[in-house]
Amino acid sequence: MNDVIIILATLATTGRVLGLTLLSIVTGWLLAYQAIGSKVFENIYISVIEVFESVPVISFFPVVLLIFVTGVGGPIGTELATDFLVFTAVVWNIWVAAYQAFKTLPREMLEVVENYKFGFWGKMRNVYIPFSLPRIAANLFPSIADAFFYITVSEVFSVGTKQYSAFGIGTLITQFIQEENWGDIAFSLTVLAIVVALVMVGLREYSKYVVARYTVDTDAPIIRRGRINFRQSSRLSSVVSRNPLSKLSRYYPHVRRRRSEKEEEENPKNISKYVWIAFGSVLLILLLYGTVKVVTSTPLSLWHSLMMDTPEVLLDLGYDYVRVGIIVLISLLFSVTLGYALAVYHKLEAVMIPIIQVFSAFPSPAYFPLLFLATSPFIYAAFGPFANELYVLGLGFISTFYYVFYSFWMGVKAMPSEYWELMKNLNLNFFQKMRNIILPATFPYLISGISSTVNSAWGGLAIGEFWTDIIAGKNLYVSHGLMKLIAVATNNGNIALAAWASLIFGIVVVVYSILFTRKMMDLARKKYVAEEGLFAA
Amino acid sequence: MDVAFTYDNGYKVFEDVSLTADENKFVAIIGPSGVGKSTLLRILGGFLKPFAGEVKLLGRTITRPTPKIALVHQSIVTFPWMTALENVMLAMKPKRIPKEEALKTAKKALELVGLSGFENLYPKEMSGGMRQRVAIARALAAEPLVLLMDEPFSHLDELTAEGLRHEIYNILFAEESPLKSVIMVSHNLTEVVELADVVYVLNGSPAKVVGKIEIDIPRPRNPQNQKFNEYLDTFYNLLTPIKVRKRE
């Protein structure tokens, strides 16, 4: 009987992930269309994406718990909370991809459909949607992998002593682990592995089909090895995609604005501009009102308590940044070595890439307890008090290394073939190649991958830093860590502290993104675009 | 010697191609598009393995790329994160020579190609012609015996290409240059007659050497010269599609 339920739960989880991905795509198209038509909406839209894409999904928890579980309540509230968490894992890359595609639609294509007086659906169906498909397809893999990663935490969560769960394989695995029901755990993981592998194979085939059918040869970048432009390469390039958003809105002002201006001339009653200004203003007023209301309705004693907790929050954040730094460093070393080997040895690449794709989409929180059970006697004996740290770092690594790995691998694949010939010709050794050519040439990809890894590593830490009853009655706790602090506060029902810590965390992440990632990306675009090393008239 | 090359799908690109590049000779290879000129050049450089035959440099068989045979690409290749000087110094990294010496050699190579004073410019700050000079300086700094050039002027505008063509022979065969010979692939017949001492013409399918012409005109060569035009006519005849010639 359990077997049937496990299969149904796996299908339910997969359906949830794919359904919300589809919702992201459809909403992405509609919002992108609005964004290219209204400057006001575009600015709001871009700012929202920029902020929310930088903030890890985990920081949405307190808000979600508040709104859905205590607000809506019941099974519907739990289901909505789960859906919202999965949605936030998949949506940003896809929205960015749709917006970028709509924004960079070749003017000639737009002029053709305008020439024939196509309306909204005509333009969407014939030009905008087909043109956006390759970019969206490139973003599907990391988005869906991200969504699967969060199934155990998004389907089961607790506030205080009360646990909430939505029907899905994440819930079942958590339940089986608590019951130490090894047979069902093994069966669940097997079914999940098969389904994830099938989804990944399906995505690969879909991507191939979409690229073959819908990719437009426009300004033909000089990329001979591999077909992926780093600007178009997924969450892998979330930074590359994210940071130029504002610039994009200035670089490509022609697309629909020209038409809008024309329409305005022809139709003075066109009020869309004013509608969006009004919408933006209302949104801003609501935001200000909400902020003022929260600040004034919070008792002074609570503010005092939160202020007293702030140094600890910052210290714990510091601990987590050190952990994230270590995870990134290890991921980088691993990825550079493996990525180079795969790019050079094509037979190895053909075998390894599908394996890594399936492995990275297979949710590590689901199988990590088993890994913990199998290794903990040795690891605790060998590393003593550092064993917990090792596990947390390990979970962070297996959850996120593939962002750097894929970015680097794609960067190496996109290097001009002339660079490879030159490296062979000059007889450079491995380190000379790496230092002088490969690392600089892949710098934009690496920054993009590092940024994604940093953002995603928080998810691993959030799960690993405070894992009560991970398996067989054992706990995995670290001494300090912001993710632990948030988890403990949420579990104790101290939503105020959890929300306060999340807010500080969100601000720091956005500031980090602005100060570090963007600067690095600007440097990458200015100096390290390998394609610009080729001069072809 | 007797080089042949076949694609993985069985398509035979060329066969029985033999050519020699003697000391102080500028050799050109011409042929219609798709005949396999660039492929042949990469076989000569050891970048591709021939299906049959072998390539020898001073009696030693070439099985892989070597700095002794330097390749200058059709798409002008520089590294945007390196200055002109650093781009040239890259060629000396594998030699592990002292930095001062490498610096001196790189500056000399840049001087040879006429880029003195531009050492600290980045490729983005240079014209296409200057970038190609950097690429040639880098190739020369590795002290090769043979220079392979794959349509080196095709991405330059006509005036820049003409200017560089006028200088290139003297640059390549200057006293300071380590080069023994140059092999260039080109579509541009005027360029070939202007520069080459010996021209190999490839044609047919699979391609073969259908002509080896020695150009006997004193330098500098003038395209208005009658003999110059006679060579051009000869090449045009040899490059006429084989099937058409059979019908004639």
In chain A, residues with a C-beta closer than 8 Å to the C-beta of B132 are 535
**Closest Cα in chain A, distance from residue B97 (Å):** 14
Q: Domain total for chain A?
A: 1
Residues of chain B that touch chain A, judged by Cβ-Cβ distance less than 8 Å:
42, 45, 47, 64-67, 69-71, 73-82, 90-91, 93-94, 122-124, 128, 131-132, 142, 154-157
* Residue A441 with chain B: CB contacts under 8 Å: 79
Strand partners, B3: B17
Overall average pLDDT of the A234-261 stretch = 41
Q: Show the tokens assigned to A208.
A: 């191939």
pLDDT value, residue A235: 38
Nearest-CA distance A430 → chain B (Å) = 11
- The DSSP 8-state label assigned to residue A237 in this structure reads G
- Predicted confidence at residue A239, as pLDDT, reads 34
- Which two tokens mark A271? 């009020």
Q: How far is B1 from chain A (nearest CA, A)?
A: 21
Of A418, A527, A528, the CB nearest to B73: A418
**Smallest CA–CA distance from A440 into chain B, residue:** B81
Three-state secondary structure string covering chain B: CCEEEECCCCCEEEEEECCCCCCCEEEEEECCCCCCHHHHHHHHCCCCCCCECCCEECCEECCCCCCCEEEECCCEECCCCCCHHHHHHHHHHHHCCCHHHHHHHHHHHHHHCCCCCCCCCCHHHCCHHHHHHHHHHHHHHCCCCEEEEECCCCCCCHHHHHHHHHHHHHHHCCCCCCCCEEEEECCCHHHHHHHCCEEEEEECCCEEEEEEEECCCCCCCCCCCHHHHHHHHHHHHHHCCHHHHHHC
In the structure, what pLDDT confidence band is assigned to residue A276 with cuts at 50, 70 and 90? Answer: low
- Give me the pLDDT at residue A54, please: 65
Task: Quick: pLDDT tens for B80-113.
Answer: 999 999 999 999 988 888 999 999 999 999 998 8
A-chain residues within 8 Å CB-CB of B82? 436
- Given the DSSP bridges, would you call strands B3-6 and B25-30 parallel, antiparallel or unpaired? unpaired
- Of A431-445, B55-69, B207-221, B234-248, the range with the lowest mean pLDDT is B234-248
Q: Structure tokens of A99?
A: 């917006």
Burial track B57-73 (b if 16+ CB lie within 10 A, e otherwise): beeeebeebbbbbbbbb
Of A419, A424, A535, the CB nearest to B76: A535
pLDDT in tens, B123-155: 989 988 899 999 999 998 998 999 999 998 888
b/e A265-291 (16+ beta carbons within 10 angstroms → b): eeeeeeeeeeebeeebeeeeeeeeeee
Asked if A506 reaches chain B (Cβ–Cβ under 8 Å), the answer is no
Query: Which helix (H) or strand (E) segment is A115 a member of?
Result: helix A107-115
Q: Report the alpha-carbon angle A152-A495-A396, nearest 5.
A: 35
Least confident segment among A257-271, A378-392, B18-32: A257-271
> Which one-letter amino acid corresponds to residue A75?
P
Q: A425 to chain B: which residues are within 8 Å by CB?
A: 45, 47, 65-67, 69-71, 142
Q: Using CA atoms, how far apart are residues B161 and B146, in angstroms rounded to an integer?
A: 22
The model's confidence at residue A219, banded by pLDDT at 50, 70 and 90, is very low
Mean of the per-residue pLDDT values for chain B? 88
CB nearest B156 (choices: A425, A440, A537) = A537
> How high is the pLDDT of residue A252?
43
- Distance from the Cα of B196 to chain A's closest Cα (Å) equals 24
Of A425, A428, A533, the CB nearest to B80: A533
Residue A273: its pLDDT value, please? Answer: 63
Q: How far is CA A1 from CA A6, A167, A169, A170, B115, in A?
A: 9, 16, 15, 18, 80
Q: For residue A453, give every residue at least 6 positions away whose Cβ sits within 8 Å of its Cβ, in sequence order, or none.
A: A327, A328, A331, A400, A401, A403, A404
Residue A298 or A254, more confident:
A298
| Shortest Cα distance, chain B CAs vs residue A347, angstroms | 16
CB pair distance less than 8 Å for B142 and A422: no
CB contact residues (below 8 A), chain A span 194-223, against chain B: 222
Chain B interface includes A419 (CB < 8 A): yes
Of A427, A532, A537, the CB nearest to B66: A427
Cβ A536–B94 below 8 Å, yes or no?
no
CB contact under 8 Å between A532 and B75, yes or no, is: no
Q: Does A458 touch chain B (CB under 8 A)?
A: no
For residue A187, the tally of other CB atoms under 10 A from its CB is 17
Is B79 close to A529, i.e. CB distance below 8 A?
no
> How confident is the model at residue A92, as a pLDDT?
85
pLDDT (tens digit, 9 = 90+) per residue, A4-60? 999 999 999 999 999 999 999 999 999 999 988 888 888 788 777 877 776 666 666
Under 8 Å CB pairs connecting chains A and B tally to 88
What does R_g of chain A's alpha carbons equal in angstroms? 24
A419: closest chain B residue by CA:
B77
Q: Are A93 and A20 in contact (CB under 8 A)?
A: no
Whether A304 shows a pLDDT value over 60: the answer reads yes
Asked if residue A287 belongs to a domain, the reply is no
What is A281-319 written as a DSSP string? HHHHHHHHHHHHHHHHHS-HHHHHHHHHHHHHHHHHHHH
Cβ atoms of A258 and A36 closer than 8 Å = no
| B160, pLDDT greater than 70 | yes
Residue with tokens 């359906």: A15
Where in chain B do CATH 3.40.50.300 domains reside? 1-68+147-158+183-248
Assess whether pLDDT exceeds 60 at residue B245: no
DSSP calls for A125-137: IIIIHHHHHHHHH
Question: A441 to chain B nearest CA, in Å?
Answer: 9
CB A460 within 8 A of CB A399: yes
pLDDT the model gives residue B201: 93
How confident is the prediction for chain A on average, in pLDDT? 81
Residue numbers in B near A429 (CB within 8 A): 94
Q: Is A162 a member of any domain?
A: yes
Q: What confidence score (pLDDT) does residue A232 get?
A: 38
Q: What is the mean pLDDT of residues A197-212?
A: 88
Say which of A437, A530, A537 has its CB closest to residue B155.
Answer: A537
Asked if A431 reaches chain B (Cβ–Cβ under 8 Å), the answer is no
Which residue among A222, A427, A436 places its CB closest to the CB of B75? A222
Q: CA dist B218 to A276, B221, B227, Å?
A: 75, 6, 11
Quick one: closest CA in B to A416, which residue? B77
Scanning every residue of chain A, which has its alpha carbon at the shortest distance from the alpha carbon of B150?
Answer: A418
pLDDT at A163: 76
Burial zone of A449 (CB within 10 Å; 0-12 exposed, 13-18 middle, 19+ buried): buried
A136-169 pLDDT, tens digit each? 887 888 888 888 887 777 787 766 667 778 899 9
Query: Residue A258 and residue A277: Cα distance in Å, rounded?
Result: 19
Minimal-distance CA residue of chain B relative to A437? B79
User: Cβ separation of A535 and B142 shorter than 8 Å?
Assistant: no
| Dihedral (Cα; B61, B67, B68, B71), 10-degree rounding | 90
pLDDT at A268: 47
- Give the least confident one: A177-191, A498-512, B31-45: A498-512
With H, G, I as helix, E, B as strand and everything else as coil, classify residue A62.
Answer: helix
According to DSSP, residue A226 is labeled S
% pLDDT > 90, chain A: 26
Highest mean pLDDT among A286-295, A325-334, A393-402, B150-159: A325-334
Band of pLDDT at residue A419, cut at 50, 70 and 90: very high
Residue A68 domain-assigned (yes or no): yes
Which residue of B78, B90, B154 is in closest CB contact with A436?
A: B90
- A222–B79 C-beta distance less than 8 A: no
- Share of chain A residues as helix, strand and coil, in percent rounded to the nearest 5: 80, 5, 15
Residue A269 has pLDDT above 70, yes or no: no
Contact A399, A459 (CB under 8 A): yes
Answer whether B47 sits within 8 Å of A532, measured CB to CB.
Answer: no
A358 touches A200 (CB < 8 A): yes
A271 against B159, higher pLDDT: B159
pLDDT at A26: 96
**Residues of chain A found within 8 Å of residue B75, distances taken between Cβ atoms:** 222, 416, 418, 534-536
Q: Cβ–Cβ of A425/B65 closer than 8 Å?
A: yes
* Interchain pair A533, B79: CB under 8 A: yes
Handedness of CA B185, B187, B192, B193 (dihedral sign): positive
pLDDT score of A267 more than 60: no
Where in the sequence is the domain holding A36, given as residue range(s)? 2-266+298-533
Tens of pLDDT, residues A454-464: 877 888 888 88
Fold of B1-68+147-158+183-248: Rossmann fold (3.40.50)
The token duo for A216 is 């437009």
Q: Chain A partners of B123 at a C-beta cutoff of 8 Å?
A: 532-533, 535
Percent of chain A beyond pLDDT 70? 84
Give the closest-approach CA distance of A414 to chain B in angstroms.
Answer: 15
Over residues A86-122, the pLDDT tens digits come to 888 888 889 988 988 888 888 888 888 888 888 899 9
| C-alpha distances out from residue B3 to A516, B21, B26, B107, B200, Å | 54, 15, 20, 38, 14
Q: Is residue A163 part of a domain?
A: yes
Kindly report the number of other CB atoms within 10 A of residue A302's CB atom: 13
Q: How far is CA A14 from CA A26, A173, B229, in A?
A: 18, 14, 73
Amino acid (one-letter) located at B197:
D
Question: Residue range B203-227: average pLDDT?
Answer: 89
Beta bridge partners of B17: B3
Copy the structure tokens of residue A49: 């994406």
Which residues of chain A lie closer than 8 angstroms to B81, CB-CB? 440, 443, 527-528
Taking the Cβ of residue A226 and every Cβ of chain B, the question of whether any pair is shorter than 8 Å is answered with no
The tens digit of pLDDT for each residue in A359-384 reads: 888 888 888 988 999 999 999 999 98
